[in-house]
Amino acid sequence: MKYRGSCHCGRIAFEAEGEIGGVLSCNCSICRRKGSLLWFIPRPRLNLLAGAEAMGTYTFNRHAIAHRFCPDCGIHLFAEATGPDGQPMAAVNVRCLEGVDLESLPVQHYNGRDI
């Protein structure tokens, strides 16, 4: 299935393809503050439709994850990194996707605080 997503102001838009079997809620220092629900997909399944040149990036700690956000409205859209298998991956904030019933998704809680 293909999902369309965007930031609040609409400047940055994207599509993500796959089946959302569940999402991850992390309690690390940044995820806890953002409140994201993350869906992990191979990076090639994420297609930017608008605003790539405007997107902001934040990295911290080991600088291994590029957290992407809209500098206008401040919404965190997704993060990019290398997965455990060595392949590029994306962690999509499903709260930014259209037509997703968040209440129906199983949530896995991840303790990123103690890593």
Q: List all residues 6 or more positions away from 7 whose beta carbon is below 8 Å from its beta carbon.
A: 13, 51, 69, 70, 72, 73, 75, 77, 96
d(CA 54, CA 34): 20
- Residue-level pLDDT at 114: 79
The proportion of the chain whose per-residue pLDDT surpasses 90, expressed as a percent, equals: 84
Q: What token pair was written down for 63?
A: 């600088």
Q: Band of the pLDDT at 111, cuts 50, 70, 90?
A: confident
3-state class (DSSP) for residue 80: strand
pLDDT of 115 above 80: no
Quick: pLDDT tens for 26-50. 998 888 999 999 999 999 999 999 9
Q: Domain 2-110 is in which class?
A: mainly beta
Distance CA 87, CA 101 (A): 29
**What residue ranges do the domains of the chain occupy?**
2-110
